């Protein structure tokens, strides 16, 4: 996918859903950014699932698996929302790394607590961004995307709560 698709360029087959082309393009750009964030968070969570060690290995191994499975579903829904609006979903590693606001871990494997803290920080970062995105899409009168993003935000809030519970903070 080239840059124009990642920035929200619309397909020739335009939906006639009461939103101007420029609004749909802007919302597709916004959604591709959140899709990239979720992809990086998914990858980080899966990495931690594979590499966790220590006294809490068993519960964390399963916990990380539950979370990356939810993130996988979220990615699919986000990509489909972009397509519903007539855009093209980001879909390459290069695009995801260019579009995300999150950062990958450096070299090495973090401790159990650092894994949890890293994921918590990322989820909370996504939640803060989603709050802004919900307001933006509502102001654009794209209530479908606003409602969709609210649901995604609630999922991240639940995952963050579970991470905080593991950290006991």
Reported as a single tens digit per residue, the pLDDT across 108-167 is 889 999 999 999 999 999 999 999 999 999 999 999 999 999 999 999 999 999 999 999
Q: Which residue's entry shows tokens 């450096």?
A: 106
Banded model confidence at residue 74, pLDDT cuts 50, 70, 90? very high
Give the model's pLDDT for residue 1.
42
Supply 154's token pair. 């609630």
Measured between alpha carbons, how far is residue 22 from residues 14, 39, 97 in Å?
12, 26, 25
- pLDDT over 80 at 92, yes or no: yes
pLDDT tens digits, one per residue of 1-29: 444 445 566 556 788 888 899 999 999 99
Residue 161: how many CB atoms within 10 A of its CB? Answer: 11
pLDDT on residue 23: 94
What's the pLDDT score for residue 8? 61
- CA 120 – CA 126 distance, rounded (Å): 10
**What's the CATH code, domain 12-100+110-167?**
1.20.1260.10
Instruction: Please name the residues in contact with 71: beta carbons below 8 A apart, sequence gap of 6 or more.
Output: 38, 41, 42, 45
Confidence band for 106, pLDDT divided at 50, 70 and 90 = confident
pLDDT higher at 108 or 37? 37
Q: How confident is the model at residue 107 (pLDDT cuts 50, 70, 90)?
A: confident
Q: What is the pLDDT of residue 12?
A: 61
Other CB atoms within 10 Å distance of the CB of residue 92: 10
Sequence-ordered list of residues with C-beta below 8 angstroms from that of 87, at least 6 positions apart, any chain: 5, 8, 9, 10, 11, 24, 25, 27, 28, 29, 31, 32
Return d(Cα 7, Cα 12) in angstroms, integer.
Answer: 15
C-alpha–C-alpha distance, residues 106 and 86, integer Å: 36
Domain extent listing, the chain:
12-100+110-167
């Amino acid at each position: 996918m080239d840059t124009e698709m990642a920035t929200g360029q619309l397909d020739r087959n335009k939906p006639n859903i009461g939103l101007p082309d420029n609004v749909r393009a802007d919302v597709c750009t916004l959604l591709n950014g959140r899709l990239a964030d979720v992809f990086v968070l998914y990858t980080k969570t899966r990495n931690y699932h594979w590499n966790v060690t220590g006294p809490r290995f068993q519960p964390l191994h399963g916990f990380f698996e539950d979370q990356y499975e939810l993130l996988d579903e979220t990615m699919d829904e986000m990509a489909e929302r972009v397509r519903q609006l007539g855009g093209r979903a980001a879909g390459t590693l290069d695009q995801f790394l260019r579009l995300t606001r999150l950062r990958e871990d450096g070299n090495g494997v973090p401790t159990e607590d650092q894994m949890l803290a890293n994921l918590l920080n990322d989820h909370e970062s996504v939640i803060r961004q989603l709050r802004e995105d919900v307001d933006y899409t509502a102001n654009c009168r794209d209530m479908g995307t606003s409602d969709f993003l609210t649901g995604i935000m609630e999922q991240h809030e639940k995952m963050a709560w579970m991470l905080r519970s593991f950290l006991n903070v």
